[in-house]
Amino acid sequence: MDFPNYETLALEPRGAQLLLVRLNRPEVLNALNTRMGEELTDLWNRLTADAGAIRCVVVTGAGERAFCAGGDLKERDGMTAAAWRAQHEIFERAFMALAECPVPVIAAVNGHAFGGGLEMALCCDFVYAVPGARFALSEVSLGIMPGGMGTQNLPRAVGERRAKELILSARPFSAAEALEWGLVNRVCEPAKLLEEALATAQAIADNAPLSVRQAKKSIHHGLAMDLLTGYRYEIEAYNHLVGTEDRHEGVRAFNEKRKPDFKGG
């Protein structure tokens, strides 16, 4: 699949099925500026419209210090209220496009993830992090509040009371705490972070892609429903898979004691 030459993102295909995306503004700790917001929106929309052979994405930060430091406050310095809102609408589109992307996205948090950086990681399907990573939703200390799904995704990850404590105090927390609370799935040594994230991405890519997408969609939307409505949604997603060639291939491969060759059809 062909992508534009982004200014703020570095895209590295890893074989035909995996895509590594680096937030690429290391000189400012990969802070989220207007251009990055526009380019992230474009990237997630392209993957939603037609991912081609790509079956899983890993997102990380360039450099060793930060995943993403949040919104670029130097760019925002002196903005009018109208300009701020207009910029934030661009960011909103980026977060929503990521949250709705049908392709699984893993956050490999290689350093600090503050504000919008943490919100971006929370919009991914799950998170791996290095031991030295620090996290915070510190917006209330700046006179604003989380506006990238932070007040929605953090409670879903760590629970309402913990999220209130973290958001209202603006207190940073460690990778070990994030792991204990369920925000982070795995803590990896820095030299192994991408290796482990890409290995999990490959394990996902080895499975039937339509099945993976339907399961992701069922989890994502089902959490907003009561149990029985969510189950009905699950069955609708399930039934879409029964007539697929990949379902036939999976059963054949099991009975023939071989690895299935899923085509996504």
Let me know: does 51 contact 13? Beta carbons within 8 Å.
no
Inter-helix orientation angle 227-242/245-255, to 10°: 80
Cα separation, 212 vs 96, whole angstroms? 20
Helix (H, G, I), strand (E, B) or coil at 248: helix
Of the candidates 119, 195, 196, 256, the residue annotated as catalytic is 119
CB atoms near residue 9 (< 10 Å): 22
Give residues with Cβ within 8 angstroms of 69, minimum separation 6: 28, 29, 30, 31, 112, 114, 115, 117
- Known catalytic membership, residue 236: no
CA angle in degrees (0–180, nearest 5) for 32-152-100: 65
Residue 130 backbone dihedrals phi, psi, to 5 degrees? -85, 155
Cα separation, 94 vs 88, whole angstroms? 10
Of the candidates 7, 75, 92, 139, the residue annotated as catalytic is 139
Cα separation, 10 vs 257, whole angstroms? 40
Cα separation, 179 vs 126, whole angstroms? 11
- Known catalytic membership, residue 245: no
Cα separation, 44 vs 65, whole angstroms? 25
Residues known to be catalytic: 119, 139
